[in-house]
Amino acid sequence: MSYQNYSLKQLQQIDASHHLHPFTDHKELRQAGSRIITRANGPYIYDSEGNELLDGMAGLWCVAVGYGRDELADAAYKQMKELPYYNSFFKCSTPTPVLLAQKLVEIAPEGISQVFYGSSGSEANDTAVRLVRHYWALEGKPEKNRIISRKNAYHGSTIAGTSLGGMESMHQQLGGAVPNIVHVMMPYAYELALPGESDHDFGLRAAKAVEDAILEAGANKVAAFIGEPIMGASGVKIPPTSYWPEVERICRKYDVLLMLDEVITGYGRTGEWFAAQSFGISPDTITTAKALTSGYQPLSALLVGDRIARTLVEKGGEFHHGYTYSGHPVACAVALANVGIIEREGLVERVKSDTGPYFAHALGERIADHPLVGEVRSFGLMGAIEIVKDKGTKERFAPSGSAAVVVRDHAIANGMMMRATGDTMILSPPLIWTRDTIDMACERIVKALDLAAADLRR
Ligand code: PXG
């Protein structure tokens, strides 16, 4: 039955009665009623009231090619008619995951040669954890199984994803994490650099925390380091350029595998196909999802480097791991079409040489000076705006996280969908944004900041 037969109130009531939402205070949501998004086109989403919102978050960091792409719908339709599902267990394959694997290896950083599919970033990270630990066991070092991650990292919501991640609020509800995962400081200069410390030195110090964790455990106990190239969900935290090359050097020095989580940064967001290429590093695994299909289908791909692949293939026997939907033919058909659009429309190059630099310039020129803004930063088409009470001292409004919500609510009321995380506003627009869209977004954000400033200073 079509949802059009239901009023907004009815949908909200049914939603409140039966639907448990992710990361939601359900009592609060039930009092307020959910915002129901009913359709979308290009860079815009529309709610059930007919309000048009410019989507500054590309859905949830995923809709790279924008909404309403017939080509992706057609790819799904055609594949569903021809073969909606078959598994890739038991020596079977279907064509689209095969061709997609070839394409992903072609665009991936050098050294990546294999692809393992799942349906979500969380699943891909579970696969990655199992795979790196299995790798060391196959190499005769089963005790080399500790994984180093970062505080405030986000690596998904499964038990392994939550354990890998460094979000305290999530750990508190975990009831027992996957063992042997430790968390070190994040490369977040805005809050963690010492007075007078240069960005460069701060980056090296944050990397040194990885080395310290390796030395504390003993290199013979450490399997891998995992990190988001740019920390997304915790607030678009961009490391200094000194950080990643130094982390890579440390990992190689102690023979620790380097795992990148590019669920947010993958497929063009940073102005390269992968942020590994932006930072000039060569990871052993790359977790990807989201923009792989632009969110039109649930699909993740763990990209695996030669070193692990060789051991897995030559010495591994059967790897007892996989999902019903690993290599789902429809999701892979959509991914192939989606990567095709990104390529054909030159979106990666556009982010690198046109919209990315323009975005950085616009944030710097039009938003950084606002009295509520402590810092703006961006990389490609990912951006952050730090909300502060005092620009000079970086003092935040109390209680923590409340001010960004005020900004967000004004932004939404003014036609701009964006997210608040803690005291940071984040932006991760579709890669189809143009200079005009960026201008429009900045206008709406400034208006939201002005209105929020009036509220907050009252
Ligand atoms: N790794 C990273 C870096 C992510 O950002 C995941 C793994 C997990 O992917 P799945 O597909 O299992 O959700 C993510 C997901 C937010 C937000 O509030 C971010 C994510 C998910 C939900 C909310 O910014 N990222």
Identify which of 134, 441, 64, 88 has the alpha carbon closest to the alpha carbon of residue 285.
134
| Ligand 1 close to Cβ of residue 59 (< 6 A) | no
| Ligand 1 close to Cβ of residue 263 (< 6 A) | yes
* 117 strand-pairing partners: 301
Scanning the structure block, which residue is given the tokens 């897995």? 312
Tell me, what's the pLDDT at 1?
A: 54
Which ligand 1 atom sits closest to the C-alpha of 426? Answer: 24
Task: Give the SS3 label for residue 245.
Answer: helix
> Using an 8 Å Cβ cutoff, are 8 and 49 in contact?
yes
Up-side HSE of residue 219: CA atoms within 13 Å toward CB?
A: 9
Q: What is the pLDDT along the chain (458 residues), one digit of tens a residue?
A: 577 789 889 999 999 999 999 999 999 999 988 999 999 999 999 998 899 999 999 999 999 999 999 999 999 999 999 999 999 999 999 999 999 999 999 999 999 999 999 999 999 999 999 999 999 999 999 999 999 999 999 999 999 999 999 999 999 999 999 999 999 999 999 999 999 999 999 999 999 999 999 999 999 999 999 999 999 999 999 999 999 999 999 999 999 999 999 999 999 999 999 999 999 999 999 999 999 999 999 999 999 999 999 999 999 999 999 999 999 999 999 999 999 999 999 999 999 999 999 999 999 999 999 999 999 999 999 999 999 999 999 999 999 999 999 999 999 999 999 999 999 999 999 999 999 999 999 999 999 999 999 999 87
Tell me, what's the pLDDT at 389?
A: 97
Tell me, what's the pLDDT at 4?
A: 79
Torsions phi, psi for 275 (to 5 deg): -65, -25
Which pTM was predicted?
0.98
Tell me, what's the pLDDT at 318?
A: 94
| Ligand 1 close to Cβ of residue 418 (< 6 A) | no
Identify which of 405, 376, 371 has the alpha carbon closest to the alpha carbon of residue 388.
371
Torsions phi, psi for 290 (to 5 deg): 35, -95
Which ligand 1 atom sits closest to the C-alpha of 153? Answer: 3
Identify which of 405, 136, 421 has the alpha carbon closest to the alpha carbon of residue 284.
136
Tell me, what's the pLDDT at 457?
A: 86
| Ligand 1 close to Cβ of residue 382 (< 6 A) | no
Tell me, what's the pLDDT at 458?
A: 77
> Using an 8 Å Cβ cutoff, are 147 and 223 in contact?
yes
What is the CA(120)–ligand 1 centre distance, in A? 9
- Contact residues for 379 (Cβ-Cβ < 8 A; gap 6+): 230, 236, 238, 270, 271, 278, 356
Tell me, what's the pLDDT at 432?
A: 98
| Ligand 1 close to Cβ of residue 122 (< 6 A) | yes
Torsions phi, psi for 283 (to 5 deg): -75, 165
Beta-carbon neighbour count of residue 320 at 10 Å? 7
| Ligand 1 close to Cβ of residue 410 (< 6 A) | no
What is d(CA 117, CA 98) in angstroms, rounded to the nearest whole number? 11
> Using an 8 Å Cβ cutoff, are 331 and 325 in contact?
yes
Identify which of 245, 286, 264, 269 has the alpha carbon closest to the alpha carbon of residue 111.
286
